[in-house]
Amino acid sequence: MNASLEECVITSRYLRRDQRYYIHEYKRGHEETVDVLFVQDGMDYVEHGEILPTLETILENTKSHHVVLVLVPPSSSEERYHFYHPKGKQHESYVQFFNKELLRDIRRRFTSNGKTLRKIGLLGDSLGAAVSMGIACDSPESWSHMLLQSGAFTDFHGVKVRNLQKTDWFVYQVVGRGEESVIYPLTGETLPILSFNRILHNQLQSITDTITYCEEDEQHLWDFWRRDLPRALNYFIDTNTKGERDEHNV
């Protein structure tokens, strides 16, 4: 495990077990506000996405910043499916765990030290992006930013978004044009990821004024998400206030 990561354990009533997660803090200056990014597939983002050096490179020239990564890893590919997929046996429990236990635990950790949580975001790839959308839709007022890489969305997520009122979300959404027929190895189902991202992008425009949407000539691979990560993290770092909002479509 990376030495800069702090291992934490939370006893979850919803998951009916102890859940491990990891925290990485980057502090420069004496900021009273904290920006927190929750990362699905947390250790994959460390090992394959190179998220720690990427974040530090982005922030090394800032005068003052306090950013916290909360890295949440599933213990196996089977658990990942049941947590992240809408048809998973523990999907609803995982969403409740995130909104009612983990987020509250992180809030308490920093507000008890006099800090204010300014931005609270979600980052995920594939099913990790999909469950991030589900988490945000379940408690839209709790989240400010969503970084969605190649989200494996379904009609389930479209219905969730259509049922929402206007939000203050900042959404970064990227997908590869080569991701129209992605086979999920655990179930064998074919995921039309490109089409569903286009559909969801259109639906999101009705509930938020700030969306950055990008399509790239890429496949459903970690190499794509790793290379895209600096742009996604910069979006999280740079979008600060409602007054700075603009829509960018690439």
Distance CA 237, CA 232 (A): 9
* pLDDT of 241: 46
* pTM for the model: 0.94
Residue 101 and residue 12 in contact, taking contact as beta carbons nearer than 8 Å: yes
Q: How is domain 6-146+217-239 classified at the architecture level of CATH?
A: 3-Layer(aba) Sandwich (3.40)
Residues β-bridged to residue 13: none
Backbone angles phi, psi at 75, to 5 degrees: -85, -15
* pLDDT of 28: 80
pLDDT of 216 strictly over 70 = yes
Give pLDDT tens digits for 88-121: 999 999 999 999 999 999 999 999 989 999 999 9
CB-CB neighbours of 36 under 10 Å: 25
Give pLDDT tens digits for 29-79: 778 899 999 999 999 999 999 999 999 999 987 777 899 999 999 999 999
Above pLDDT 90, what percent of the chain? 85
Least confident of 59-63, 82-86, 174-178, 201-205: 59-63
Selection from 159, 197, 206, 161 nearest residue 178 by Cα: 197
Domain residue limits, the chain: 6-146+217-239
Distance CA 28, CA 66 (A): 6
The two most distant CA atoms of the chain are separated, in Å, by 50
146-165 burial string, b = 16+ CB within 10 Å, else e?
Answer: bbbbbbbbbeebbebbeebe
Q: Token pair of 79, please?
A: 């658990």
Residue 106 and residue 34 in contact, taking contact as beta carbons nearer than 8 Å: no
